[in-house]
Amino acid sequence: MHIDFQDQTGHMTSETKTLLEKLVYYAAKSENIPQNAELSISFVDNEAIRKLNRTYRHIDAATDVLSFGIHDDNWEQIYHKSDVPITLGDIIISTDRAQEQADEYNHSFMRELGFLTVHGFLHLIGYDHIDKGDEQIMFTKQKDILDGFGLER
């Protein structure tokens, strides 16, 4: 799996990126995503993610994470029929919001970045939390992945 990191904040260390890369590999393996997948993770500030949220979701507020998947609902059929790398999409994380939430939930910044990364990744591969049933499935997967990787609360 290839992950393209973009750091618009200038604050993300190579150690942080390496840990998140390992976490995504772990999540991908747990979800049976073949190794030839690609995605990008961008780190931005609150203002940048607010603009994206306003443009694409018509919500004029900063959020913690946005996911933009490349494929529609049949991405899995396309993915498994192809020998070429498939781009899953983009995850954009506000490091400002990540720090605010880490402080609010009284856990580490790294744990919050991990949570947001897994949350975004699960959206890229088709999970959602629009209704209670889907929310329970997605949030259980998030917890299982984070706990299994060692990023418990």
Structure confidence at residue 119 as a pLDDT band (50, 70, 90): very high
For strands 2-7 and 37-44, give the pairing.
parallel
What are 4's two structure tokens?
Answer: 């393209």
Please compute the mean of the pLDDT values over residues 11-29 and round it to a whole number. 96
Please state the rounded mean pLDDT for residues 90-106: 97
Q: Calculate helix-pair angle for 132-149, 109-124, nearest 10 degrees.
A: 130
Q: What are the structural domains of the chain?
A: 2-149 (3.40.390.30)
d(CA 118, CA 131): 19
Would the pLDDT of 98 be above 90? yes
Distance, CA of 114 to chain centre: 8
99 pLDDT higher than 60: yes
Q: Categorize the per-residue pLDDT at 70 as very low, low, confident or very high, splitting at 50, 70 and 90.
A: confident
Q: What is the pTM of this model?
A: 0.91
